[in-house]
Structure 1
Amino acid sequence: MGITLAFLGMLGFFVGLVLLVIGLIKKKKMKGGLVLGISVVVFIIGFIMVPINDTESSKDSKDKEKVETTAKPKEETPEEKAAREKKEAEEKALAEQKAKEEAAAKAKAEEEARIKAEQEAAAKKANAKTIDYPQLKKNPDRYKGEYVKYTGKILQILEGDNITNIRLAVTPTSYGYNPNDVIFIEYSGYTDFVDDDIITVYGEIYGSYSYKSQAGFDIALPGLLAKEFE
């Protein structure tokens, strides 16, 4: 609306200007001045209304966009709903199948690892050797990591903090076991053994274990990390 008035005002301005010039030339009173004045007023009004109309148009456009944005979404047709539900059911079934397969694969891997560990332990146990005590006592570090087997008599057993320590006499004699041929056993856990029990232990030599006796003497014994008892 404002643009139209501005255009008409400008057109009237030129028409009034032409009439005014013609009247001056012919020295006659014509309505050119009046037309010119009216045209100027119309042009000014139209010019003022242009930004107002633009603002209103912009506001209307934004309101329209807002209405379109907040418009209620289109409802699904029965066919679309059925297709969506079918797709969701298929995706759920695939996810469940994948989870089952992964769980089965994990269980299989764990079972295979358990069987392998048992087989390795059985093989180590079957191949465990007994090192002559004088050789072991002379240099325990030489046999570090060796998987060994010893049968002997418990001279002392101590437990605490889920750790069991045993001093085991391992050299048989005609009267029992030599109390001077002793290995020091460390075991993670507890046992039902007590002093004077005869046991067989399987484990790894880790070197030398040193401690002070009650009399204040430094004592070093071959050390063994126990894995299994019989």
Structure 2
Amino acid sequence: MAVLGAFGAVGVIFGVFLIIYGKIKKKKYRGGLIALVSLVVFIFAIALTPNEEANTNADETDAYKVSPGEITNEKLLISLAVRAETIIEKYDKIDNVSVKTENITAEKLNDMKDNETGEIYKNIYHVSGQYSWQEKRYDFELEISFDENDVESSGKIIMYASNMPGGDRIQANRSPVK
């Protein structure tokens, strides 16, 4: 499509040149027709060119992922990393935790049901990896069920574990929703 667009653009310029040249020489060179056809070709090429942003991953935005699977959107990973820092600090009872996106993996999970209460967990995001605290690294794993499919919304921690000694552990007894 880029080649077709380039030919269209060159054709428009050439057509305008022929119009001007024809006026000077007082002859008809059909520059207007060439310019018009080339303009149509150029517009056609632009219309058929795929929108790269829309095709990169329509399943993910900066705030949520539509279907279950691995999260690749960098801004969404950053939001989850910031959320993880807050959760880690709360449950491991420490401050100044650092979670970097290159040290974590994240995915959206299918809805689940709490086997004890019957509560349905929706919009579940699973984040695992490592965090840094006082120049040491610790492994962690967490799952959050967000009220809305937006990682900036409020949510409920349904699973948290880390290898930090003395930290709290959470594990809801859950199973897939049928």
Range class of TM-score, shorter chain: 0.3 to 0.5
The structure in which a higher percent of residues are helix is 1
Give the TM-score of the pair, scaled to structure 1: 0.27
Question: Which structure: larger Rg?
Answer: 1
Higher RCO (CA-CA < 8 Å; seq separation 6+): 2
Give the TM-score of the pair, scaled to structure 2: 0.32
